[in-house]
Amino acid sequence: MKNVNEILKWMNQNQKINYDRLLQKLIKSWEEQNVRPKILMHACCAPCTTYPLEYLCQYADITIYYYNNNIQPRNEWERRRIVLRNFIKDFNEKTGNDVQIIETKYQPNTYLKEVKNLHNEPEGGLRCNVCYNLRLTAAALYAKEHNFDYFGTSLTISPHKNSQTLNQIGIEIQHLYQTKWLPSDFKKNDGFHRSIEICEEYNVYRQKYCGCLFAAKKMEMLDLKQISREADEFVKLNHDRYSNFDLVKFNFQHKEASTVD
């Protein structure tokens, strides 16, 4: 199966790369070869997962990787995890797909250690690059160890995330760990708008901040105490319902990923 670099070398390197076009070319190559790749897609929450799943499931078998030590506080991490499980379960039932989820333990110190001098960075700055790097590296290591054909992320659907940066980091990680990056820019082709529609169709909770408290505290209108209270209530109400969810596999042996300098 093709590596993104095999397609990149035919594109004009002096122009801004259209990673959505790159993904479409990759998909065309799968169709020509009559293959259906196994993709490990890192996801931070259900809303970001909606459209990427709807799109990719037409061409590939997808497993979601929930590795997000950046999300604070813990009950919000837990809430997003449960909402994601809920969405995948409903998505599979409605579409006949068999999307699986891999979850790791919540280890916020892994993230906090890496960003300790970057608390005051704006959203989209250096702290975010380190954050992307941690999460995509973890996905790449898991994908390599478990023989996935590609690793990628649904983060490129967000209008607040720089898809050029995310794809460049993904390609660097691919070189370091000899695995294959899935390029994407899911917000293109009306992808972001479609993600909002899917959230409405499936009644999916859409959080108001990216994940870390550093960025959340800079949003003046955000009531973090209220968010934490709501997350607590949600987790208490929903925890038991999903404790035996058979689509979820756990990766508690996750080794701390080293970061890309």
Positions that interact with ligand SF4 (CB under 6 A):
70, 123, 127-128, 131, 210-212, 214-215
Please state the separation of Cα 196 from the chain's center in Å: 16
CA nearest neighbour of 104 among 161, 142, 130, 52: 142
In this complex, which beta carbon is closest to ligand SF4, that of residue 64 or of residue 131?
131
Shortest Å, Cβ 53 to ligand SF4: 21
- By beta-carbon proximity to ligand SF4, the closer residue of 28 and 119 is 119
Closer residue to ligand SF4, CB minimum distance, 120 or 147: 120
By beta-carbon proximity to ligand SF4, the closer residue of 7 and 134 is 134
Q: Shortest distance, CB of residue 123 to ligand SF4, whole angstroms?
A: 5
Which residues are within 8 A (CB) of 154 and not within 5 positions of it... i.e. 6 or more apart? 41, 42, 43, 44, 48, 49, 52, 53, 186
Q: Cβ of residue 245: shortest distance to ligand SF4, in angstroms? A: 25
CB of 206 to ligand SF4, least distance (A): 15
| Least Cβ distance, residue 75 to ligand SF4 (angstroms) | 16
Distance CA 69, CA 81 (A): 12
48 versus 215: smaller Cβ distance to ligand SF4:
215
C-alpha separations of 247 from 51, 78, 86, 231, 250 in Å: 20, 17, 10, 23, 10
The residues facing 101 across adjacent strands are 64, 248
DSSP H helices in the chain:
4-8, 19-33, 46-56, 74-95, 108-114, 126-145, 163-177, 191-202, 213-216, 224-238
Cβ 81 to ligand SF4 shortest distance, Å: 15
* Pick 57 or 216: Cβ nearer ligand SF4: 216
